Amino acid sequence: MEAPRRERISYKKYKNSLLTLVSNLSIAILLFQFPLTDAYSHIRASDQLDDSADTGASALNNNNKLLIILIDGFRWDYYTRQKAKLPGFSQLISDGTHAEWVEPMFPSLSYPTWTTIATGLYPEEHKILGNYMLHRPSPIDTTTNDELSTIPETVFSLLNDSTKLPFWWKFVEQIWTTVTKAGRKVSLANWARCDVPFNGILPEVCTGYVYQDVNTHFRDDLLNALKRLQNGFSLAMVYDDLIDHVGHKFGPDSNELKLTLVHRDAQIRELLMAIQMSGMANKINVIITSDHGMTSLDKTVKRIYLEEFVNMGDVHRVVDYGTVVSIAAEKDRSAALAQSLAAIPSAGVLVYSKDDIPEELHYKRGTFALDFLLVAKPGYFIVGVKGEKQIPNDEKSSSAQPYAGVHGYFNMTDMRTVFFAKGPAFKKGKIQPPFRVVDQYQIFMKVLGLSPNRHHGNWDSVKDMLVA
């Protein structure tokens, strides 16, 4: 996910907070040596409830529970380059299954990938095409009674309440709705748009995403998720964006990133110990996944300045900047805008009209796709325009150096991400060949013993990691 835009963050204060957290890590590790600490007192085996209320036929075990942890911006090689300092993730690997890597989709951005993880569908079908989108109403079609035609022009913007408008989310059912419809309890923590009803249905517990300088509640979110799984819930989902924020601000190769990963590893290790002490290790499956990787935005990356190529009189809106940009033309100005965009060097940026977007991107049939799509190649970065036509309209969008780290590229090794899994449904010590982000949804449903909705996953790509 992108760094926050709503407020200027004191990263000096943030960095000091991070280093304080990490400096306390040695104390936390010492606590791990004791057989039971107060942190686990509420999840002892004696507190377990009867699981007989669970419904749905399972090919694995009717009592299987699933905890999905999405750590935003976790690049595929972050673990291997410092694994000696990451005993929690090492335990996941030795006691469970992990993928060599997970292939991201296009675009390798947060909101589209979160929705793909929760549906198994590509963006052109689930309709969430980016962290920023523009709905432009078309003439009312009385034959289809399309309600979108009656909705005025609306912006979908990463960190404000525009993302909560129901019409963005009406097209497909996400996993928490499916599991809820099956009569099971679902809990989500810090998870974007679990708080928007789908056909009037909400999960039992949902805390929507709220940005914080440092996510200090991740540990509590994990332990609360475990407590709920122990007390009758079938599915818990926890989201964390700290790794992503640090990667954007300091870069993927920074010491700050490495320290942050060590701290998150300690909390994962604490969770694994808590599961063992709860007496639920034979029922709870833990999956840690991510949405994309991260790459450096340094001086070697060539900048493409949109304002040098386009006549802004031809432009209605420019949506996003960086690696993937969409442009809506003013009425009757598409041809003129296309001619201007053709001057952008194709060695660095691929420019597509909507109808010409390649099928392999799984994008062009998206309801909110605009007139033109610009895709930066690795080594290039698109700088947005100044003024109200730019979405988002802030200083970062027209800056040549908004971040130290970026993502969103297509077919780039640094965009690869991770998958770890441990529990009764998964083989022990299994190294799974690479698979795609869209393949994960069917794993979740298999573990829960529920039939998946239609999806784009390939079962043969993932089935060997499961015990049955």
CATH number where 349 lies: 3.30.1360.180
Residue 62: the pLDDT is 58
Per-residue pLDDT reduced to its tens digit, 124-165:
999 999 999 999 987 654 445 578 889 999 999 988 899 999
Q: Quick check: helix, strand or coil at residue 391?
A: strand
Residue 124, class by beta-carbon neighbours within 10 Å (0-12 exposed, 13-18 middle, 19+ buried)? buried
175, 117: one domain: yes
206, 275: one domain: yes
344, 435: one domain: no
184, 230: one domain: yes
| Catalytic positions | 110
Per-residue pLDDT for the chain (468 aa), expressed as one digit of tens each? Answer: 655 443 333 444 444 555 444 444 433 333 333 333 344 333 333 333 333 223 233 345 557 899 999 999 999 999 999 999 999 999 999 999 999 999 999 999 999 999 999 999 999 999 999 999 999 987 654 445 578 889 999 999 988 899 999 999 999 999 999 999 999 999 999 999 999 999 999 999 999 887 666 667 999 999 999 999 999 999 999 999 999 999 999 999 999 999 999 999 999 999 999 999 999 999 999 999 999 999 999 999 999 999 999 999 999 999 999 999 999 999 999 999 999 999 999 999 999 999 999 999 999 999 999 999 999 999 999 999 999 999 999 999 999 999 999 999 999 999 999 999 999 999 999 999 999 999 999 999 999 999 999 999 999 999 999 998
354 belongs to a structural domain: yes
188, 314: one domain: no
Among the listed residues 443, 431, 437, the one whose alpha carbon sits nearest the alpha carbon of residue 416:
437
Beta strand ranges found along 105-163 (DSSP E): 132-135, 154-157
Cα 19 from Cα 25, distance rounded (Å): 10
Residue 52: the pLDDT is 29
User: In total, how many domains does the chain have?
Assistant: 2
Cα 69 from Cα 78, distance rounded (Å): 17
200: region left, alpha or beta (phi > 0 left; psi from -120 to 50 alpha): left
CA triple 149-109-134, angle to 5 deg? 20
147 belongs to a structural domain: no
351, 421: one domain: no
18 belongs to a structural domain: no
Which residues have C-beta within 8 Å of that of residue 284, sequence separation ≥ 6? 65, 66, 67, 226, 229, 275, 278, 423
CA triple 40-283-454, angle to 5 deg? 125
320, 287: one domain: no
Cα 33 from Cα 182, distance rounded (Å): 40
C-alpha 244, offset from chain centre? 10
85, 206: one domain: yes
- Residue 383 near residue 400, CB atoms below 8 Å: yes
pTM assigned to the model: 0.88
94 belongs to a structural domain: yes
Where a domain ends, among 381, 402, 423?
Answer: 402
Helices 255-278 + 242-250 axis angle, to 10: 170
143 belongs to a structural domain: no
Instruction: Outline where 191-254 has alpha helix (H).
Output: 218-230, 242-250
141 belongs to a structural domain: no
278, 309: one domain: no
Cα 287 from Cα 285, distance rounded (Å): 7
Cα 89 from Cα 86, distance rounded (Å): 6
331, 205: one domain: no
136 belongs to a structural domain: no
CATH number where 438 lies: 3.40.720.10
139: preceding bond cis by omega (within 30 degrees): no
417 belongs to a structural domain: yes
Where a domain ends, among 402, 422, 445?
Answer: 402
Domain range enclosing 76: 41-127+171-295+413-465
205, 229: one domain: yes
Give me the amino acid identity at 383.
V
Where a domain ends, among 402, 427, 444?
Answer: 402
Residue 59: the pLDDT is 45
Name the residue with tokens 């003129």: 336
318, 184: one domain: no
Cα 457 from Cα 175, distance rounded (Å): 14
